[in-house]
């Protein structure tokens, strides 16, 4: 409840507000860890795509520069002429004349069937390959919002446990504030004992010398470091000059 225990500026960053649309600091740390787990998958995917492109390039070079075509032409003519008109000449012409042949041969061949035939992956195939990883990264970003429902579901089924958790959180914040107050008192006391530095003294002198520069030379809260606003209150001790915001004061 805001009316019961208003949160300080330092405490607000450690809580998750379910109705806040932005990703908050506790959720951001968990989301970054989930995204870091996707990096090995991304590196593996890039390696596979790069290897695919490398193999395609090698096979394409082999295909274009290892092509060899052969052309073979031959001609064969055999003719036996037997002269004369005798019976023996006629007999030889009828028997040996069958050996007369004539043919031309032309053969063209290549090693195209032995060469690789690589095919490049299309842009759609690359997109389909990277789409699951993109969906996984998107789920890592969106999962913080369903996780906010865990406390509401647990409170609905276990209301007594929810009251115990709220009481524990309330006491824990009170202890943290008490310890924080003691730590800040010690830190501010040590800081007050130290002489101001040259930059601090020059800044204070400029603020006193030219009051119109105060809007540009704004100081910050001594405790939490928030920039100076009209609600900031200076220490009533004239020798102190420390500035505090309204919650810290």
The residues near 15 (Cβ < 8 Å, ≥ 6 apart) are: 7, 24, 26
Residue 14, domain member (yes or no) = no
Phi/psi region, residue 134 (left: phi>0; alpha: psi -120 to 50; beta: rest), is: alpha
Determine which of 86-95, 119-128, 170-179 has the lowest per-residue pLDDT on average. Answer: 86-95
pLDDT in tens, 188-226: 777 777 766 655 666 666 666 666 655 555 677 777 777
Domain co-membership, 25 together with 140 = yes
Contact 14, 25 (CB under 8 A): yes
Domain co-membership, 64 together with 181 = no
State pTM to two decimals: 0.58
Contact 133, 38 (CB under 8 A): yes
Residue 152, domain member (yes or no) = yes
Domain co-membership, 61 together with 123 = yes
pLDDT at 160: 93
The residues near 62 (Cβ < 8 Å, ≥ 6 apart) are: 115, 116
Mean pLDDT along residues 150-170: 91
Domain co-membership, 64 together with 135 = yes
Domain co-membership, 112 together with 136 = yes
Domain co-membership, 182 together with 114 = no
Contact 238, 23 (CB under 8 A): no
Of residues 61 and 211, more confidently modeled:
61
Q: Which domain holds residue 184?
A: 159-192
pLDDT in tens, 87-96: 777 777 777 7
Please state, in angstroms and rounded to a whole number, the distance separating the CA atoms of residues 223 and 225: 6
Mean pLDDT along residues 74-78: 82
pLDDT-based confidence at residue 134 (cuts at 50, 70, 90): very high
Residue 116, domain member (yes or no) = yes
Q: State how many domains the chain has.
A: 3
């Amino acid at each position: 409840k805001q009316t019961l225990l208003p949160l300080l500026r330092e405490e607000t960053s450690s809580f998750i507000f379910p109705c806040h649309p932005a990703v908050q600091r506790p959720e951001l740390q968990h989301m970054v860890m989930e995204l870091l787990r996707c990096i090995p998958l991304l590196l593996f995917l890039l390696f596979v795509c790069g290897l695919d492109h490398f193999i395609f390039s090698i096979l394409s070079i082999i295909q274009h520069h290892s092509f060899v075509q052969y052309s073979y032409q031959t001609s064969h003519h055999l003719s036996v002429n037997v002269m004369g008109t005798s019976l023996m000449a006629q007999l030889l012409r009828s028997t040996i004349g069958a050996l007369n042949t004539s043919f031309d041969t032309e053969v063209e061949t290549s090693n195209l069937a032995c060469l690789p035939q690589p095919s490049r992956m299309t842009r759609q195939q690359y997109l389909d390959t990277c789409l699951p990883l993109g969906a996984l990264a998107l789920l890592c970003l969106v999962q913080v919002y369903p996780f906010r429902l865990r406390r509401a579901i647990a409170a609905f089924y276990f209301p007594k446990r929810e009251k115990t958790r709220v009481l524990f959180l309330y006491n824990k914040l009170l202890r943290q504030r008490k310890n924080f107050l003691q730590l800040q008192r010690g830190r501010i006391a040590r800081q007050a004992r130290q002489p101001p530095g040259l930059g601090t003294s020059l800044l204070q002198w400029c603020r006193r010398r030219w009051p119109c520069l105060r809007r540009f030379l704004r100081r910050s809260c001594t405790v939490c470091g928030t920039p100076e606003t009209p609600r900031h209150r200076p220490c009533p001790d004239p020798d102190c000059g420390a500035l505090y915001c309204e919650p810290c004061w």
